[in-house]
Amino acid sequence: MSDMTRLTVFKTYKLYVGGKFPRSESGRVYEVIDSKGNWLANAPLSSRKDARDAVVAARKAFGGWAGNTAYLRGQILYRVAEMLEGRREQFVREVADAEGLSKSKASAQVDAAIDRWVWYAGWTDKISQVVGGGNPVAGPFFNLSTPEPTGVVAVLAPQESSFLGLVSVIAPVIATGNTAVVIASEKSPLPALSLGEVLATSDLPGGVVNILSGRTAEIATPLAAHQDVNAIDLTGADEVLAKELEIAAADNLKRLLRPQPVDNPVNWAADPGTHRLTAFLETKTVWHPTGSLGASGSSY
C-alpha cells in the first residue's frame, strides 16, 4: 500500500448563493488558467438564471441584515477577518496562481485583504455619525438625517485584483447593511469562490453575499436591467460594457458607482477612504416638531 501513489482530491469550485453552494443552474463550467496558461480548475459558468436566483436570495436576506445593529454587523465582518486568517495559506496560493505573483507579494495582498475587513468592520457603527446627524433648520423642528442601506447591490468585482480588490468592493457594500450579488473576476474567480466558503462560516447570514463566476457581460446585463436590484457597482466592467449597463440601469433609477478614470488601474492597496461606504446609502431625514404642548408647559 505504501508505495501506491496517492490521487490528489481536486476541489470542485461552486457558486455561493443564499448561503448554499450550488453549481450553475445551466450546468456549465469554464476552464480557469493561471498567469502562465496552466489549467487550475473548472469554475461554474453562471447564467442569467443564476443571477436571478442570487437576487432573490439577496432580497430575502436584506430585511434581516439591514435590521441588525451596526455593532453586530461589525462583529460579523471582524469574524470574516478571523476566519480568513486561519485559511491564509490557501488564499496566498490561490492569489499567487491567479495573478502570477511571488509568494511574498501574494501574502502581502492577502494580509491587506484581511486588514480591509477589519477596517470596514470598524466603520459599521461610525458611518452614520459621519454622514448623518442633526441639521439646523429655520423652524421649531428637530431635523435629523440618518443613512440607510440602498438595498440589493450588484457588484462587478475588479478583473485584475482577484482578492484584495474583491474584498475592497464587497466589504463596504455589506458593512452599511446592503446585500450583494457579486460577479467575480472573469479571468481569476477562484479566490472569490473560496471566499464564499469563508463567509459561510463567519456568522454572515445566507444571502447577504452571493458570489457568481462566469462571463461578466453575460451575468451583468440581466442584473443591470433587473427591477429588483437597487444599485450596481461597475468596477469590473470595461468602458463599453459599463456604458451599456449604465443605460440598462437607468430604467429603474439604480444607484450607480462607476469608478473614474477607468483606464487608470486602481491602487487597491491604498487607503480606501469612505467613498465606497457612502456610495450605497440613502439619507432618511426626519422632521420632528419641538415646542410646548399647550398650557401644561410640557414639551416634546
Residue from 28, 59, 215, 258 touching other proteins (CB under 8 A): that is 59
Decide if 147 contacts 281 (C-beta within 8 A).
yes
* DSSP at 134: E
Q: Is residue 115 close enough to count as binding other proteins by CB under 8 A?
A: no
Q: Is residue 222 close enough to count as binding other proteins by CB under 8 A?
A: yes
> 129 or 227, CB closer to other proteins?
227
Nearest-approach distance from CB 76 to other proteins, in angstroms: 26
Residue from 70, 225, 266, 269 touching other proteins (CB under 8 A): that is 225
Q: Is residue 44 close enough to count as binding other proteins by CB under 8 A?
A: no
Q: Is residue 282 close enough to count as binding other proteins by CB under 8 A?
A: no
Helix/strand/coil for 102? coil
Where in 251-270 is the site for other proteins (CB under 8 A)? 251
Residue from 32, 55, 183, 184 touching other proteins (CB under 8 A): that is 55
Q: How far is CA 140 from the centre of its chain?
A: 41
Among residues 259, 122, 93, the alpha carbon closest in space to that of 191 is found at 93
Nearest-approach distance from CB 247 to other proteins, in angstroms: 12
Nearest-approach distance from CB 171 to other proteins, in angstroms: 25
> Which one of 51-59, 112-120, 255-263, 277-285 is the stretch in contact with other proteins (CB under 8 A)?
51-59
Q: CA of 221: how far to CAs of 108, 183, 206, 226, 245, in Å?
A: 34, 11, 24, 9, 6
Separation of alpha carbons 154 and 82, rounded Å: 26
Separation of alpha carbons 220 and 209, rounded Å: 16
Helix/strand/coil for 155? strand
Which residues of this protein are in contact with other proteins, per CB under 8 A? 52, 55, 59, 222, 225-229, 251
